[in-house]
Amino acid sequence: MDSNLWPWHHPPWHRWTIQLWIQLVAAVVFLISWVVLRFFHILALIKAKWWLHRKKPCSVALSNEEGVPGVSIVKPLCSGADANLVRNLETFFTLNYPKFEILFCIQDQEDSRLRYFVESLIEKYPDVDAKVFSGGEVVGVNPKINNMQPAFQASQYELILVSDSGIRMSEDTLTDMVSCMTKNVGLVHQLPFICDKSGIAGTLEKVYFGTSHARIYLAADVLGFNCATGMSALMRKEILTAVGGLKAFSSYIAEDYFMAKSVLNSGFKIQVSSQPAQQNPGDSSITNFHSRITRWTKLRYAMCPGLMVFEPISDSVIQGVVCAWALFFLFRWDPVTFIMLHLLLWFIMDWALIHLVQNGPLPFSKFEFLVTWVFRELTAPCILIAAHVNPSVTWRNKRFRLKWGGVAEKVETSDPDEPSLIPITITSSALTTTSSPSSSSSIVIPTRPMAVSMAASTAMLDGTMPVYAPLSHQGGAAEKFICKEIDTIQS
């Protein structure tokens, strides 16, 4: 090997080229990053071991004493298509906490199906204080903030819990979160995790949230960094009101990050709850998962541009490669041996971490975990590349352009992927109706103007009836969704 590539041999230090100095600095930086990430891994394991799933003494008291702080639970809802929605929402009616209200925020005033689900639960649990708000109020570009604005203004308690529609609660979850809200804490958030689910997509989500995401999330909490996510966050209303309410965060898509930032700027701390947030979506898929993680990556880059440099080398594969080169450059260690040992150590620590976050048996075997973990680590660099190739964000059927600092602006476009209504005529004897074939009645369902399955055209009713049908890139998906709506009408 050319001695010019080996710094501890020839040439002498005073004859080094700029290229060699750059290589030396890069090698040292890569090795330092390896040590730092192992430190983060250890911090995450310690935090998970000694904090998660630990029942605090005051939790029992909070569930029994009068005079506890009241909580206004704000539930933004945008679609009733989620198969697990009703089951998820019902867990909020069975919370073991003495003083709370549930404020449902239905984004679309025309969504009678979603309203029916919510009102059915309210009727089933008449002793629970629950209200419904529809349509929201446009105060900025963030559709979630717009949806929650009326409920926030009508909230009556000093604590606000923002909880997404896909979250499932245990009976004592709210009690646990409130018990973490000590005098110097202004925001309590939950570590994002996932309910046990079958299938490849469910396993991939659990592996990601129990390893890669949990590692950085828990380590950041120990070090006091802003890592809060808004899927389940309990905040002091007075802090939000002091900065202008939810409206103050309406120009950001990552409103949760800036809410947490406002809490820190107010002199309060943020604290992770001992119970992870149990996400329970009914539409899990690998495509949806990658789209979601890519969107989060874009938001992080917009808010903290410096992450573009450091985040790529925080993934196991990329870090293994660059550190193998660094050790070969500095000490002539065998790169292949180091990469194998590096991945083995990373895998073992992730295996231990996901067990601590799960707090029980995993719903998959060790082999399934290994395969899914390898797939996740190999595709992580692809997600980073995708975030750079297309920096715009699509969220809640709207497209946004991100600016440095996290400010977003809505992109007005006639893109064919934008939701619209496409009329088609469907005939079948599968459904009876009081409408005659010549009736002008119609079924209106949000759609994407792509290709629709011709097979679906025989799934409706005798005669003809104008139907505004949901279309998708795959005809089979459109057919299934149309038939599902037909079944709903029949029932």
Q: Work out the average pLDDT over 416-445.
A: 38
What is the mean predicted confidence (pLDDT) over 230-253? 95
Last-in-domain residue among 284, 318, 345: 284
pLDDT, tens only, 455-470: 333 333 333 333 333 3
142 with 245, same domain: the answer is yes
- pLDDT the model gives residue 123: 96
Identify whether residues 427 and 406 lie together within a single domain: no
Same domain as 444, residue 400: no
CATH code, domain carrying 68: 3.90.550.10
Is residue 437 domain-shared with residue 461, that is, in the same domain? yes
* Residue ending a domain, choose from 385, 410, 435: 410
pLDDT of residue 8: 53
403 within some domain:
yes
User: Does the residue 291 lie in any domain?
Assistant: no
Same domain, yes or no: 401 and 479:
no
Q: Is residue 126 part of a domain?
A: yes
Q: What is the pLDDT of residue 57?
A: 58
Residues 184 and 93 in one domain: yes
Q: Is residue 34 part of a domain?
A: no
With beta carbons less than 8 A apart as the criterion, state whether 225 and 149 touch. Answer: no
Let me know if residue 78 belongs to a domain. Answer: yes
Out of 410, 438, 464, pick the residue that ends a domain.
410
DSSP H/E element including 340: helix 335-358
Q: Does some domain include residue 45? A: no
Cis before 11 (ω within 30): yes
Q: CB of 211 within 8 A of CB of 352?
A: no
At residue 36, the pLDDT reads: 95
Q: Are residues 245 and 347 in the same domain?
A: no
Per mean pLDDT, which of 63-77, 79-93, 414-428 is the most reliable? 79-93
Give the residue with greater pLDDT, 306 vs 170.
170
The verdict on 154 and 270 lying in the same domain is yes
C-alpha to C-alpha distance for 398 and 412, rounded to whole angstroms: 9
User: Residue 201 falls within a domain, yes or no?
Assistant: no
Task: Read off the tokens for 450.
Answer: 């792509």
Q: Which amino acid is at 311?
A: E
Q: How many domains does the chain have?
A: 3
Range of the domain at 486: 423-490
Q: Is 230 exposed, middle or buried (0-12, 13-18, 19+ CB in 10 A)?
A: buried
Mean pLDDT of the chain: 82
Which is it for the CA torsion 339, 345, 348, 353, positive or negative?
A: negative
Strands in 266-419 per DSSP E: 269-272, 277-279, 393-395, 398-402, 408-410
Residues 270 and 372 grouped into a single domain:
no
pTM value is 0.80
Looking at the fold, whether 105 and 243 belong to one and the same domain comes out as: yes
Residue 351 lies in a domain: yes
Q: Which two tokens stand for residue 330?
A: 């500095």
* pLDDT digits 0-9 by tens, 331-361: 889 999 999 999 999 999 999 999 999 999 9
* Whether 86 and 127 share a structural domain: yes
What is the structure's pLDDT at 122?
96
**Residues with active-site annotation:** 256
Q: Is the dihedral of CA 139, 140, 141, 144 positive or negative?
A: negative
Residue with the larger pLDDT of the pair 472 and 176: 176
* Residue 318 and residue 273 in one domain: no
